[in-house]
């Protein structure tokens, strides 16, 4: 098997969609000796900020001398970004070996084409567990895929559970209210395991409090005031945005909570946070011709509000050219209302996804939000960027999928994929009884 063969096999697993529930993942994990029982985890859920918080935790504990695994999604360019040890993506040779192993297990445990067949994310979750055990990771920073309660990652019992925040996203699968979304995210809370959250919406926080209480899980609620306390009061984070200070506060609270288990010196915490790297989130790039590009996933209405606040704070008075591509299952109208008034002109592009919103639909929303703005539609991101070669400040936003494409088009990634961004595609094909819709 070649690496291309392995990626093709992973592509084929996408036909099985995303079936929320733990049965397949538990069965697959059992077939390889339950590797989750040989690892220590910090499990991270939340609507926004999960990846950044994971990156901060990884950087802190790596600075403390631990061998740290990192499991996140989606990837921006190459599949290996999802599974990292010491911030090094899993090698292609390891991907091939693990895929071959998974192929054999799938043939043993499931009928070909069965509706019960494990999905891409379920298989990759177990691949990651296997790899982290092989690599003798002392701690794994473990990000949920979608929700929490029925997410494949929820087969682990962590040292701590984190819920960054609760906002509107994926309502089709997690429910239409903040309370229902919080209930799904709070599903990662385990009996007696400490919980850290920065959720602040009353109806969401009520659910988290009640879940933590019912499971006798000590709850630490992180407040805005903690962004101004040591070590964050005197620390300039490499990641832009006030929201990153709150993500850092959550990470610090988690480290403090786990001090009895994993002692980390205050100076090491500062060192880890000062060295954190997480691309595609308010990332400023200076191009060789002197132009400036701001990349930000901003993939839901909450993310759009964060981007808008950052533009006002870090680039006051600037009116960037906004290159915007959004998935149609997001609240794209609200995102356009938030972002269009801040731009000098808007270039609308499709996202390389079956779920992409049509640029024409976005155009009307942008024009309504900013009647005096020039709005243009393009067939591709490359075409839009070619039309922006004389624009000094470009902001690309609306989807992490789009950011991954931008990194490839602009040559900003050290990784080179072989058409691997499409692996991020999914659609839920079934939900267990009792799941919020």
**Domain edges within the chain:** 3-279, 283-412
Residue 52 CA from chain centroid, whole number: 8
pLDDT higher than 80, residue 414? no
Give the least confident one: 67-71, 139-143, 425-429: 425-429
Model confidence band, residue 432 (pLDDT cutoffs 50, 70, 90): very low
Q: Output the pLDDT for position 175.
A: 84
pTM of the model as a whole:
0.92
Residue 12 CB neighbours (<10 A): 10
Work out whether strand 195-197 and strand 219-221 pair parallel, antiparallel, or are unpaired.
parallel
Tokens standing for residue 185: 């995210």
Find, among 339, 342, 322, 321, the residue nearest to 330 by Cα: 339
Full DSSP string of 183-223: HHHGGG--TT--EEE----HHHHHHHHHHHHHTT--EEE--
Q: Distance (Å, rounded) from C-alpha 300 to C-alpha 338?
A: 11
What topology is assigned to 3-279 in CATH? Answer: 3.40.1190
Q: Helix %, strand %, coil % for the chain, to 5?
A: 45, 15, 40
Domain 283-412 class, CATH top level: alpha beta
Residue that is written with structure tokens 């395991």 in the block: 193
Q: What is the pLDDT of residues 255-289, one digit of tens each?
A: 999 999 999 999 999 999 999 999 999 999 999 88
3-state SS, residue 43: strand
Q: Output the pLDDT for position 111.
A: 83
CA 190, 191, 195, 199: dihedral to nearest 10 degrees?
A: 70
Model confidence band, residue 205 (pLDDT cutoffs 50, 70, 90): very high
* Beta strands, E only, 209-270: 219-221
**Cis-peptide, bond into residue 177, ω within 30° of zero:** no
Mean pLDDT of 59-80: 96
Do 3-279 and 283-412 have matching folds?
no
Q: What is the pLDDT of residues 366-379, one digit of tens each?
A: 999 999 999 999 99
């Amino acid at each position: 098997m070649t690496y291309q063969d392995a990626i093709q096999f992973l592509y084929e697993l996408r036909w099985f969609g995303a079936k929320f529930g733990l049965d397949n993942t538990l069965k697959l994990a059992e077939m390889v000796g339950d590797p989750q029982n040989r690892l220590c985890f910090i499990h991270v859920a939340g609507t926004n900020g999960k990846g950044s918080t994971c990156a901060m935790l990884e950087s802190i504990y790596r600075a403390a001398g631990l061998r740290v695994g990192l499991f996140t999604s989606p990837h921006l360019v190459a599949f290996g970004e999802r599974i990292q040890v010491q911030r090094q993506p899993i090698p292609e040779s390891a991907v091939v070996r693990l895929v071959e192993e998974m192929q054999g297990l799938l043939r043993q445990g499931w009928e070909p084409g069965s509706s019960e067949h494990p999905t891409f994310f379920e298989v990759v979750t177990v691949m990651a567990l296997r790899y982290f055990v092989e690599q003798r990771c002392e701690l794994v920073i473990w990000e949920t895929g979608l929700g929490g309660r029925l997410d494949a990652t929820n087969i682990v019992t962590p040292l701590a559970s984190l819920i960054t925040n609760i906002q509107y996203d994926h309502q089709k699968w997690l429910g239409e209210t903040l309370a229902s979304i919080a209930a799904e995210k709070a599903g990662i809370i385990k009996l007696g395991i400490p919980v850290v959250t920065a959720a602040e919406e009353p109806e969401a926080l009520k659910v988290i409090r009640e879940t933590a209480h019912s499971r006798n899980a000590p709850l630490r609620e992180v407040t805005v005031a903690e962004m101004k306390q040591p070590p964050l009061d005197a620390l300039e984070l490499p990641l832009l945005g006030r929201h990153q200070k709150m993500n850092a506060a959550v990470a610090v609270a988690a480290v403090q909570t786990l001090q009895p288990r994993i002692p980390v010196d205050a100076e090491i915490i500062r060192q880890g946070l000062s060295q954190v790297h997480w691309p595609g989130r308010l990332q400023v790039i200076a191009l060789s011709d002197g132009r400036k590009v701001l990349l930000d996933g901003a993939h839901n209405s909450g993310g759009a509000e964060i981007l808008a606040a950052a533009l006002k704070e870090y680039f006051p008075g600037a009116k960037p050219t906004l290159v915007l591509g959004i998935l149609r299952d997001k609240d794209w109208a609200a995102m356009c209302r938030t972002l269009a008034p801040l731009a000098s002109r808007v270039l609308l592009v499709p996202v390389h996804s079956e779920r992409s919103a049509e640029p024409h639909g976005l155009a009307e929303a942008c024009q309504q939000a900013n009647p005096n703005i020039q709005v243009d539609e393009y067939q591709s991101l490359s075409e839009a960027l070619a039309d922006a070669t004389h624009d000094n400040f470009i902001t690309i936003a609306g989807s992490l999928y789009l950011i991954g494409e931008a990194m490839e088009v602009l040559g900003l990634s050290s990784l080179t994929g072989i058409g691997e961004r499409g692996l991020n595609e999914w659609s839920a094909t079934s939900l267990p009884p009792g799941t919020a819709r």
